[in-house]
Amino acid sequence: MVKKDTSSEEDTQENAEEISGDGYVEIKMGGGWYMTISLAHSDRFEKEYVELAKERGGVKRSRFNLNPTHVRMLGEALIKFADDNGL
């Protein structure tokens, strides 16, 4: 028998435990994992970028660098994806 998840959006937000600051957001994912979103600067190319990283124990395990001009587009696409899939 499959039980349907009836948790509300408020419960999800409480579990996320977002910690945000100047150019930094940390979202607790569970099991000691965090998703971090930070604004970084490249000395080599002299440009800013947004770094999305999966972190555990203070060590970044995987990361993705995103051009700041695409951040809003990514956010809107994630919201649309969640809405379309009932997440």
pTM: 0.66
CA distance readout (Å), 13 to 28, 36, 46, 66, 72: 10, 16, 36, 24, 20
Retrieve residue 47's tokens: 């440009």
Domains of the chain: 9-84 (2.30.31)
Chain segment 61-73, per-residue pLDDT in tens: 888 999 988 989 9
At 57, the pLDDT band (50, 70, 90 cuts) reads confident
- How sure is the predictor about 12, in pLDDT bands with cuts at 50, 70 and 90? very low
* DSSP letters for 11-25: HHHHHH--EEETTEE
CA atoms 71, 19, 21, 9: torsion sign: positive
